Amino acid sequence: MNAPAASAAYDQRWQRIQDCINLKQPDRMPVALYSTFWLAKYGGITCKQLMYDYEKTKEIAERAVLEFEPDVISTLLLTVASGRSLEAIGFKQLQWPGHGVGDNQPFQYLDREYMKADEYDEFIFDPTGYYLHTYLPRVAEAFEGFEELPNFPGLHYFRLVGSVRSFANPRVRAAFENVFKAAEESERFFQHHVQFMARMASLGYPATNGTTGVSPYDFIADYFRGATGMMKDLFRNKDKLLQLLDKVAVFLLRQIIPTAKASGNPIVFIPIHWAPDAFMSPKQFETFWWPSFRKMLIGLIDVGLVPMPLWEADCTKRLEVIKDVPAGKCIYWFERTDMVKAFEVLGDVVALRGNLSPSLLTTGKPDEVDAAVKHLVDNVWNQGGKLILDAAFGLPDETPVENVRAMFDAARKYAG
Amino acid sequence: MNDMTDEERQLVEWLADMNEDDALALAKRMLLEDKKNPMRVLELCRAAMDIVGKRFEEGEYFLPELVLAGEMLETIGAIAKPLIKLGDGGEAKKHGKVLIGTVHGDLHDIGKNIVSFMLDINGFEVKDIGVDVPVRTFIDEINTWQPDVVGLSGFLTLAFESMKETIAAFESAGMRDKFKVMIGGGQIDDTVKNYTGADAFGVNAVEAVALCRRWMGVAA
Ligand code: B12
């Protein structure tokens, strides 16, 4: 395709997404290509290679994009090729090929208590100090040594001049050297990503999102207190938790807004872990989960960004609550919530994304995939739903290629 | 348990209502100061857990309550068990033996733990062999422990394959007809049940209990 044609194709594809967000009728149902380790299967390489070989991964990802011609693509390289960066920073919260799991296994997050229950006060009082002295050394080896940094608030005059000697401490020095090395790798990785996305854009393919976010509750549950620690906090540390949630909403916005703006793509992808029906009562949801997240959504919308939460598992009972956002500003991606039901409740408020079932995609036959797409087209798209077709949470790693073909073919067959 | 003293009733109520501080303080006093029969205290815990289980089934309680209840039970159990003397009365009757674990490659354990907890409070003897369990370990455990039901948990799509492999290994070991196999976990549905060759799948812990009851011929 020549450059002007590719540029026109880009505009057309991006317009479809814009139309969906604005609750207008696009010329056809857009389809997304979102993959993590599925690319390894598709390209016939190991998960380890996918994580470590920037060039190979770009090549395979490009091949997949050109084969399926999706309307939008996920950050295909950024999502998987972190092996070298993880190694450089000595990341302790994940296991990945060569570091705890086999060469052909995806990376996996380790659910631990990275913040203890009695550390709430410290985190709330001085988040940056807590990060420097406690959290960073706990989660990444490169930061080991930062425990010895001085407490910055309170430094003044000759006390400031004198305290700078902490930086001469050999452990602190070593830590800085390690962090610089990690930074170089991370920068290389990021440049590969930028270059890959620019190339995809030049071929006519926009990205589904510029950056990612996290809900305040999930941030604390997943990365600090751990799954069960958090559930106990709902009873044991209720007030402190609420206080921290409020604060986290503010500093997450400060993280997300500049990165989203710098990316040039307004969509912010927010995978959501702890909202599902089974995970807490409606009352707990409305007390602990939703208020700080809604504050974040509005904060993003107010500066012209488009939040795209991915509501994992079944969130049917949450629909009426999460409906409370301005119309035409968000994409709600559902994993297992019945899309027809989601459309009935939210169809005039948000664009929808999803949600072919993982078990169908991995173990079903192409004609079953075809039927599942038709079901979504008949019951959502043709009823006026602004649906971006995708799998439940992108393509499951094990999806046979013929089922991916069936998904894309069926979308074109039934919805333009 | 109708013949409860006011104090006993209070303990059950506090436990069932997630009033952790008061419940633990009272349980400690009963066990350590008043020297109450530890078996009696554990019976009271069980009565409280019955209520918790009911509230979960009825949709009043969710995961957080089960997690906290499990932990309260564990805390009291740890104090009570060393105090149990011979002649205090034996373990309650068990309906059957259930071996449960998360299949290899998968580390998710919250769902499995809830299933274990619910089976336990419903009178089944449960042996939980953890996460990322190799096929070999399942086989060895089955040989030595002789369960009536084997439960496989898994949340990742890669667990479909692990479950299939595990069940196929039961087949090759010639033991497949000696117990029932149930599977469950986030992504597990009927398609996966057929794919793996399990006898049944359960969407939640309540169904896991119902399946075991049905197989063991226990009335609900
Ligand atoms: C919590 C969680 C985690 C925690 C796990 C903490 C822990 N200690 O278990 C952490 C953060 C560590 C984690 C890690 C990962 N996770 Co995870 N995780 C989840 C999450 C949010 C919830 C799962 C859960 O515990 N639910 C709580 C239980 C109680 O809920 P439930 O399903 O209703 O439980 C009932 C039933 O399942 C049933 N049941 C359970 N077991 C059994 C067994 C039997 C026999 C029966 C009958 C019934 C039964 O009874 C339960 C009680 O009622 C899900 C998404 C989701 N919303 O489901 C993703 C999810 C399962 N994770 C996922 C992924 C990808 C991962 C990681 C690979 C991410 C990463 N790259 O690091 C790693 C994998 C680690 C590994 N190898 O296992 C994916 C799986 C996708 C896929 N296609 O495979 C999911 C679906 C999220 C997603 N949409 O992408 N995860």
pLDDT value for A36 = 96
The domain in which residue A401 lies consists of 3-83+197-415
Higher pLDDT, B122 or A329: A329
pLDDT at A5 over 90: yes
Torsion sign (Cα): A74, A75, A81, A86:
negative
CA distance A163 to A173: 15
pLDDT value for B137 = 97
User: What average pLDDT does this structure show over B47-57?
Assistant: 91
pLDDT value for B42 = 86
Confirm whether A332 is domain-assigned: yes
Question: What's the whole-model pTM score?
Answer: 0.90
State which H helix or E strand residue A259 sits in.
helix A238-263
pLDDT at A348 over 90: yes
Instruction: Look at chain A and report how many structural domains it folds into.
Output: 1
Q: Rounded mean pLDDT of chain B?
A: 91
pLDDT value for B91 = 56
Q: How confident is the model at residue B93 (pLDDT cuts 50, 70, 90)?
A: low
| In chain B, where the domains are located | 6-88, 97-216
Contact between B105 and A105 using a beta-carbon 8 Å cutoff: yes
Higher pLDDT, B3 or A82: A82
Give contacts of B103 with chain A, Cβ < 8 Å. none
pLDDT value for A66 = 97
pLDDT value for B121 = 80
pLDDT value for A83 = 97
Compute the radius of gyration of chain A from its Cα atoms: 22
State which H helix or E strand residue B153 sits in.
strand B149-153
| DSSP strand pairing (A267-272 vs A211-212) | parallel
User: Any chain A CB within 8 A of the CB of B155?
Assistant: no
Domain B6-88 annotated CATH 3.30.2290.10:
no
Confirm whether A169 is domain-assigned: no
pLDDT in tens, A123-177: 999 999 999 999 999 999 999 999 999 999 999 999 999 999 999 999 999 999 9
Query: Which A residues, 359 through 388, put their C-beta within 8 Å of a C-beta on chain B?
Result: 359-360, 362-364
CATH number, domain with residue A407: 3.20.20.210
pLDDT in tens, A109-127: 999 999 999 999 999 999 9
Q: For atom 79 of ligand 1, which residue has the closest CA?
A: B156
pLDDT in tens, A195-215: 999 999 999 999 999 999 999
pLDDT at A270 over 80: yes
User: Any chain A CB within 8 A of the CB of B188?
Assistant: yes
Domain B97-216 annotated CATH 3.40.640.10:
no
pLDDT in tens, A88-102: 999 999 999 999 999
In the chain, the amino acid numbered A69 is E
Confirm whether A337 is domain-assigned: yes
Nearest to A358 among B60, B157, B204 (CB): B157
Using an 8 Å Cβ cutoff, are A266 and A305 in contact? yes
Q: Say how many Å lie between the CA of residue B106 and the centre of ligand 1.
A: 9
Q: Which residue of B has its CA nearest to A317?
A: B59
Residue of A93, A222, A234 to mutate for B, most B C-beta atoms under 10 A? A234
Nearest to B62 among A111, A235, A281 (CB): A281
Confirm whether A35 is domain-assigned: yes
Write the CA distances from A131 to A161, A224, A350, integer angstroms: 23, 11, 36
Confirm whether A95 is domain-assigned: no
DSSP per-residue codes, B37-97: -HHHHHHHHHHHHHHHHHHHHTTS--HHHHHHHHHHHHHHHHHHGGG--TTS--PPP-S-E
So what's the ipTM on this one?
Answer: 0.88
Q: 3-state SS string over A271-310? A: EECCCCHHHCCHHHHHHHHHHHHHHHHHHHHHCCCEEEEE
Using an 8 Å Cβ cutoff, are A245 and A220 in contact? yes
Using an 8 Å Cβ cutoff, are A365 and A352 in contact? no
Give contacts of A228 with chain B, Cβ < 8 Å. 67, 110
pLDDT value for B86 = 57
pLDDT in tens, B25-45: 999 999 999 999 888 898 899
Look at chain B and count its residues. Answer: 220
Q: Say how many Å lie between the CA of residue B155 and the centre of ligand 1.
A: 4
CA distance A159 to A166: 12
Q: Which atom of ligand 1 is nearest to the CA of B152?
A: 45
Q: Say how many Å lie between the CA of residue A367 and the centre of ligand 1.
A: 28
Q: Rounded mean pLDDT of chain A?
A: 97
Confirm whether A110 is domain-assigned: no
Instruction: Tokens 């997450």: give the residue.
Output: A252
Is B202 near ligand 1, meaning CB less than 6 Å away?
A: yes
Look at chain A and count its residues. Answer: 416
pLDDT value for A300 = 98
pLDDT value for A255 = 95
Q: For atom 32 of ligand 1, which residue has the closest CA?
A: B186
| DSSP strand pairing (A108-109 vs A94-97) | antiparallel
Give contacts of A397 with chain B, Cβ < 8 Å. 157-158
Cα of B148 to nearest chain A Cα, Å:
28
Using an 8 Å Cβ cutoff, are A115 and A135 in contact? yes
